[in-house]
Amino acid sequence: MAAAKPNNVATRARNAARTARVSCRASRNNSVNVATQLDWKSLATNMDDLSPIEIMDHALATFGDEIAIAFSGAEDVAVIEYAKLTGRPFRVFSLDTGRLDKETYELFDAVEKHYGINIEYTFPDAQECMDLVREKGMFSFYEDGHQECCRVRKVRPLRRQLKTLKAWVTGQRKDQSPGTRAAVPVVEVDPVFEGLDGGEGSLIKYNPMSNASSADVWMFLRTMGVPTNKLHEVGYDSIGCQPCTKSVLPNQPEREGRWWWEDAAAKECGLHSGNIAGQEGDDSAGEEGEKQSLYDSVTEMSKADLEALATDASSRPEKGAVGVLYAPWCQFCQGLEEDFEAAAAKIGATGEDVKVFKFRADTEREFSADKFQLETFPRIVYIPGKSSTNAKPISYLSEKRTVDDLLTFTKNVSGVEARDYLGFTK
């Protein structure tokens, strides 16, 4: 563990924190993403030699109750201990995938009692779990790869949780995996997920343990008398879900005990997929391990049909068409999936003559740019109804994309009201 730092470093940390606090206040007042207010890359470089407690103090001082620690039920309990040592209030959340070991649940309980806290548990969507298990059985990940199950049980619940925050704290360390974690910075703009303000760059991610080694962490946990997961005593280093975790040999990289039947480069469950080169959540994001379709409950539009809708008013429904132009590998398109499908269902339930569609646009960039001014994914568009013979497609450019936002947009442009003022489906 890094030793206490000399005064000049502490001063630098205080100055950095002061700068960030000023920026965050500005962002709250003006609803501007925190990430746009500060050079987080430079800050990460400046903070790289700070101790975990200094980094944690910076995080909590900057974001207050809009930051929370992600606790997996393993040795990242050290992060909670550091938060306690700052003397500042802190929040902890955890994803209960429904497939954890008994020992992990026991650790959750012990941690709540030890620190006098209530962990904010997040669960997967019950319907999605039922659909997956009924269709593919309990252990589909051994045959299809872990991405699909992780997406349902971890990534989507995490995405929902992070949308309530402006920053989060993880226990990631560089030494956990030479393949995927070797370059984890102490703080970064989250390359994958959105925060409370919505949109790219709206979430900050602190990794205060980045430069600590496994030996550092264990020395610290023993010294502080912190509760730990009993599985660590029988050879488990990195602990996740029971069916996807096994013990490792001494000196074996700890992430090799996770999804051992898969290639090392794919060993992120989606929670930290930005660690994998080419999965930064932008247009250059890779396709490895990612689902190739999105918005499964929404009708896919062909290019020919979409071109006809955009150019020939007589082919349109009375009330027009609402659609999303997407790329399946785009993290922001994935983030929109749940809300877009819910909005589509509500619009469909009105019985009005309005079409809801999706169009895979990454393979038709030129066409999409020409007809819909597509620049980034996702692009939500409205194509006016049959009677508006001269009207052009309308783009929804806001980064607020909840069900309510989408239904309000639909009402404003088409007149189709899919909810009453209390938000119920009509």
In the shown chain, the binding pattern of residues 88 to 127 toward ligand SF4, with x for contact by CB under 6 A and - for none, equals ---------x-x----------------------------
Shortest gap between Cβ of 386 and ligand SF4 (angstroms)?
46
Q: Is residue 84 part of the contact set for ligand SF4 (CB under 6 A)? A: no
Query: Whole-angstrom Cα distance, residue 394 to residue 3?
Result: 57
Near ligand SF4 by CB under 6 A: residue from 149, 276, 306, 336: 149
Identify the bridge partners of residue 379 per DSSP, sorted by sequence position: 325
Q: First vs last Cα of the chain: how many Å apart?
A: 58
Annotation marks residue 330 as catalytic: yes
Q: Is residue 141 part of the contact set for ligand SF4 (CB under 6 A)? A: yes
Cβ contact 52:208 at 8 Å:
yes
Q: Is residue 159 part of the contact set for ligand SF4 (CB under 6 A)? A: no
Near ligand SF4 by CB under 6 A: residue from 58, 84, 146, 255: 146
Shortest gap between Cβ of 102 and ligand SF4 (angstroms)?
15
Which residues have a Cβ under 8 Å from the Cβ of 124 and sit 6 or more positions away? 97, 98, 152, 153, 154, 156, 157
Shortest gap between Cβ of 270 and ligand SF4 (angstroms)?
8
Which residues have a Cβ under 8 Å from the Cβ of 216 and sit 6 or more positions away? 1, 2
Which residue, 140 or 402, is less far from ligand SF4 as judged by CB?
A: 140
HSE, CB side, 13 Å, CA atoms: give it for residue 315.
10
Shortest gap between Cβ of 27 and ligand SF4 (angstroms)?
33
Cβ contact 314:347 at 8 Å:
no
Could you say which residues in the range 241-270 bind ligand SF4, by CB under 6 A? 241, 243-244, 269
Shortest gap between Cβ of 241 and ligand SF4 (angstroms)?
3
* Pairing of the two strands 321-326 and 299-300: unpaired
In the shown chain, the binding pattern of residues 267 to 296 toward ligand SF4, with x for contact by CB under 6 A and - for none, equals --x---------------------------
The residue type of 113 is K
Shortest gap between Cβ of 172 and ligand SF4 (angstroms)?
16
Tell me if the bond preceding 378 is cis, omega within 30° of 0: yes
Q: Is residue 73 part of the contact set for ligand SF4 (CB under 6 A)? A: no
Q: Is residue 329 part of the contact set for ligand SF4 (CB under 6 A)? A: no
Which residue, 150 or 407, is less far from ligand SF4 as judged by CB?
A: 150
Near ligand SF4 by CB under 6 A: residue from 73, 198, 227, 240: 240
Near ligand SF4 by CB under 6 A: residue from 58, 84, 91, 154: 154
* 3-class SS of residue 231: helix
Shortest gap between Cβ of 275 and ligand SF4 (angstroms)?
16
Q: Is residue 199 part of the contact set for ligand SF4 (CB under 6 A)? A: no
The site for ligand SF4, by CB under 6 A, has a size of: 13
DSSP assignment of 115-159 equals: HT---EEE---HHHHHHHHHHH-TTTHHHH-SHHHHIIIIIHHHH
* Pairing of the two strands 394-396 and 379-383: antiparallel
C-alpha dihedral (151, 195, 412, 368), degrees to nearest 10: -60
The residue type of 40 is W
- 141, exposed or middle or buried, with CB in 10 Å at 0-12, 13-18, 19+? buried
Contacts with ligand SF4, residue ranges (CB under 6 A): 97, 99, 141, 146, 149-150, 153-154, 240-241, 243-244, 269
Residues serving a catalytic function are 330, 333
